[in-house]
Structure 1
Amino acid sequence: MSLALVTGASRGIGREIALALASAGHQVIAVSRTPNKDETNQRITSIAGDISDLAFVNDLHEQVQRDHGNIEILVNAAGIFGPIALIKDSNPHQWLETMMIDAISCYYTSRAFLPAMLDARWGRIINLSSAAALHQPGKLNSAYATAKVALNQFTRHLAAEISGSGVTANVIHPGDVRSEMWADISAKADALGEAGVDYKSWVDWVEKTGGDDPKKAADLIMKLVSDESANINGEFLWIDNPLQAPIDSWDKPVDAPPWL
């Protein structure tokens, strides 16, 4: 079995992914700002830290390699929705924090743990994205949507660099999950009043339907870490039967640019 590292692993989708990997026999390093202090699963080791801090990620890499070995499965599940505001009214610190956690941290962790995967000629990097990156731009969620667009494009570049190496990189959309982040979205939509009516309608719809089961995302992760998925690289993947029907994913690149 492999050694996996999951960020945002103390709750919500990240927690479900960590549990699924552990249940399958993998050893899991669960990283989050507020780790589960009462962890009873002997296959899960919790580490506290901020993955948007490069110094922490570098120290994490050294600690994990020293105490556990090389990471073979990396799942970047940490994320925040960030400010719901017009750009002109947004808080720059909150806007940048969203970019750092939702996108830049995935660069930090991938950069740190990828070399050992390449040396072993086997590895899986899976980033949790969002359908927000595929919708037409709208008002109020520029930080979150921009971060997810950046994450998608980063993953495509990473996939191109590692093609044929035995290592793959993909993004998944976990669906509309009623996590703690969802409660944050609901509270911010309420605070906006009339300006947040579209978000409130979205929140109410997910509350009414119950949202997507986070186990669907965990199931998709388990498929991607299997040897049967060795040829899946650089893709945007959807969970099975999401509440929101899949929309067109990113376009496939052309065979050659027109100037060649």
Structure 2
Amino acid sequence: MNSYDFKDRVAVVTGGANGIGAAVVERLAQSGARVAIWDMDISAPEARVTGLPSDQVLLVQTDVSDLDNVLAAAQATEERFGLIDVLINSAGIAGPAAPLAEYPVDMWRKVQAVNVDGTFHTCRAVIPGMVARGYGRIVNIASIAGKEGNPNASAYSSSKAAVIAMTKSLGKEMSQYDIAVNCITPATAQTRILEQVSAEFIEYMRGKIPRGRFVTVDEVASMVLWIASAENSFTTGAVFDLSGGRATY
């Protein structure tokens, strides 16, 4: 396992109590970072989070779809740790599987609010401090669905395509600073988000991956850590594929 130096760095991981976010939190903390977890549900974090030193981890109940709530989380993080160097946007919801013509309007709006607005809100909250200090790393967790589109998942696919486009735009805006903004597009990972979709849809997704399996959260964390490290000093506005061969661009 590669190691990156995050000593004296402060990271925020949205959706960090479980799944991909929790794996990233664990790796960041093991690499020396202090980590704030912004999550809607902080009542039962995974053991990989609760086992970390309490002085390294801060849990902040946060609804990323609400800008005022995000700004309050940023303030709480800065009061505890002083600043924010790294932002990992991992919070997201899948929404139900349904044809677009039958898609529930309220769920469409909820998926966009969490996945798109949430990414916008958190980036908006941390960027001023990063610009003032001349350093920052932002990694947005998009999805292969944002590249290819998944049938019966128009809300999720659209939201992740928006995250990809937002990453490209913001990466160019921040290119004059030592602030790298990138995203990754993983194939399906074995996380709680699969509880929101049918068994048939899960098998359909697995069948589209040439490697024949879902990506692990630890594999995702490995890629995220390099992108979020100081060593990633040139690449920005990029989309890193993590689809097991499903996409090759």
Structure 1 spans left out of the alignment, 5+ residues:
190-195, 249-260
Give yes or no for the alignment of 1:227 onto 2:230. Answer: yes
- 52, 77, 87: which one aligns with 1:41: 52
CA deviation vs aligned residue, 1:91-110 (integer Å, no higher than 9, x gap): 11111111111111011000
Scaled by the length of structure 2, the TM-score of the pair is 0.87
**Residue 22 of structure 1: aligned partner:** 29
Superposed CA deviations along residues 127-179 of structure 1, whole A, max 9, x for unmatched, are: 000111111x4531110011011111111110111112000100012332111
The equivalent of 2:99 in structure 1 is 86
Aligned partners of 1:83 and 1:95 also within 8 Å: no
Counterparts of 1:19 and 1:88, CA distance in 2: 41
TM-score (norm 1): 0.84
Q: Contact 2:208 / 2:246 at 8 angstroms: preserved in 1?
A: no
After superposition, the Cα gap between the structure-2 partners of 1:90 and 1:212, relative to the gap in structure 1 and judged at 3 Å, is same
Q: Match of 1:146? A: 158
**Following TM superposition, by how much is the alpha carbon of 1:36 offset from its aligned partner in structure 2, in angstroms?**
5.1
Take 1:229 and 1:167, find their aligned partners in 2: how far apart are those partners?
Answer: 10
**Cα displacement string for residues 17-51 of structure 1 (whole angstroms, at most 9, x for unaligned residues):** 00000000000001111115572312221111211
Pairing partner for 1:51 from 30, 41, 64: 64
Task: Provide the C-alpha distance between the structure 2 equivalents of 1:185 and 1:160, rounded to a whole number of angstroms.
Answer: 35
Are 1:166 and 2:169 an aligned pair?
no
d(CA) in 2 for partners of 1:139, 1:205: 12
SS of the residue 1:181 aligns to: helix
Aligned Cα root-mean-square deviation (Å): 2.0
The match for 1:179 is 191
Instruction: Provide the rounded CA distance (Å) in 1 between the counterparts of 2:76 and 2:133.
Output: 19
Segment of structure 1 superposing worse, 155-164 or 84-93? 84-93
In structure 2, what is the equivalent of residue 202 of structure 1?
205
Change (3 A) 1:236 1:54: same
SS at match of 1:229: coil
Gaps of 5+ in 2: 1-6
Deviation at 1:62, TM superposition (A): 1.7
Contact 1:169 1:233 in 2 (8 A): yes
What's the CA shift for 1:112? Answer: 0.5
Deviation at 1:205, TM superposition (A): 7.4
Q: 1:218 aligns with which of 217, 221, 227?
A: 221
Question: Post-superposition shift, 1:203?
Answer: 4.8
Q: 2:65 matched to 1:63?
A: no
Task: State the percentage of identical aligned residues.
Answer: 24
Conserved? CA contact 2:150–2:157, under 8 Å: no
Distance in 2 (CA, whole Å) between partners of 1:209 and 1:36 is 34
Moved over 6 A (4+): none
The partner residue of 1:3 within 6, 10, 22 is 10
1:31 equivalent to 2:38? Answer: yes
Is the 2:38–2:73 contact (alpha carbons within 8 Å) kept by the matching residues of 1? Answer: no
Structure 1 residues 186 and 229: CA distance shift in structure 2, 3 A? same
The answer to whether the Cα contact below 8 Å between 2:206 and 2:214 also exists between their aligned partners in 1 is no
Cα 1:37–1:45 change in 2 (3 A) is: farther
Q: Indicate if the aligned counterparts of 2:58 and 2:77 stay in contact, CA closer than 8 A.
A: no
Mean Cα displacement is larger for which, 81-90 or 4-13? Answer: 81-90
The structure with the largest alpha-carbon Rg is 1
**TM-fit CA distance, 1:209:** 4.7
